[in-house]
Amino acid sequence: MTSSKRKGFKGLFLAAIASAVLFSFAGCGSKEGEENYLKFKKLSDTQEYFAYKADSTLLISGHRGTKEEGYPENSIEGFQQALSRVPLFFEVDPRLTKDSIIVLMHDETIDRTTNASGKLPDYTYDELLAFRLKDHEGNITAAMIPKLEEVFDWAKGKTVVNLDRKDVPHEMIVDLIKKHKAEKYVMLTVHTGAQARYYHDRLPGIMLSVFARNDAEYEDIAISGVPWENMIAYVGQSINESNRHIVEKLHANGVRCMVSFATTHDRQRTTEQRMAAYIREVENSVYKPDIIETDYPVEVWGVLGTM
Domains of the chain from N-terminus onward: 3-94+148-304 (3.20.20.190)
Which of these ranges, 28-32, 140-144, 270-274, 275-279, has the smallest mean pLDDT? 28-32
Q: What percent of the chain has pLDDT over 90?
A: 83
The CA-based angle 110-86-136, given to 5 degrees, is 25
pLDDT digits 0-9 by tens, 8-56: 444 444 444 444 444 433 334 446 679 999 999 999 999 999 999 999 8
d(CA 163, CA 119): 20
d(CA 184, CA 156): 8
> Long-range contacts made by residues 56-59, C-beta under 8 angstroms, separation at least 24?
56/288, 57/290, 58/288, 58/289, 58/290, 58/291, 58/292, 58/304, 58/305, 58/307, 59/87, 59/89, 59/256, 59/290, 59/291, 59/292
Q: How many CB atoms lie within 10 A of CB 252?
A: 10
Would the pTM count as exceeding 0.85?
yes
Mean per-residue pLDDT, 256-283? 93
Confidence of residue 271 (pLDDT cuts 50, 70, 90): very high
Confidence of residue 285 (pLDDT cuts 50, 70, 90): confident
Residue 256: what residue type? R
Looking at residue 22, its pLDDT comes to 41
Mean per-residue pLDDT, 271-291? 88
What does each C-alpha distance from 233 to 216, 248, 250 come to in angstroms? Answer: 14, 12, 8
Mean per-residue pLDDT, 75-96? 97
| Helix intervals (H) in 165-296 | 170-180, 193-202, 215-222, 244-252, 271-284
Looking at residue 115, its pLDDT comes to 98
Q: Nearest CA to 208 among 182, 227, 232, 226?
A: 232
Looking at residue 32, its pLDDT comes to 61
Looking at residue 4, its pLDDT comes to 41
Average of per-residue pLDDT values in the chain: 90
Identify the DSSP state of 121: G
Looking at residue 114, its pLDDT comes to 98
What does each C-alpha distance from 124 to 101, 127, 208, 288 come to in angstroms? Answer: 8, 5, 30, 44
Q: Which one has a higher pLDDT value, 28 or 127?
A: 127
Q: What DSSP line would sit under 239-255, residue for residue? A: --TTTHHHHHHHHHTTB
Q: Across the strands, what pairs with 104?
A: 94
53 Cβ contact partners less than 8 Å away, ≥ 6 residues apart: 254
Confidence of residue 304 (pLDDT cuts 50, 70, 90): confident
pLDDT of 244 strictly over 50? yes
> Are the C-beta atoms of residues 270 and 30 closer than 8 Å to each other?
no
Mean per-residue pLDDT, 66-92? 97
Consecutive H or E run containing 34: none
Mean per-residue pLDDT, 135-145? 97
Q: How many CB atoms lie within 10 A of CB 15?
A: 15
- The secondary structure of the chain in percent helix, strand, coil, rounded to multiples of 5, reads 40, 15, 40
Which of these ranges, 15-19, 82-86, 190-194, 249-253, has the smallest mean pLDDT? 15-19
Confidence of residue 307 (pLDDT cuts 50, 70, 90): low
pLDDT of 2 strictly over 90? no
Q: Nearest CA to 284 among 266, 259, 251, 253?
A: 259
pLDDT of 157 strictly over 80? yes
| Helix intervals (H) in 84-214 | 125-128, 148-155, 170-180, 193-202
pLDDT of 174 strictly over 90? yes
Confidence of residue 306 (pLDDT cuts 50, 70, 90): low
d(CA 108, CA 154): 24
Looking at residue 31, its pLDDT comes to 62
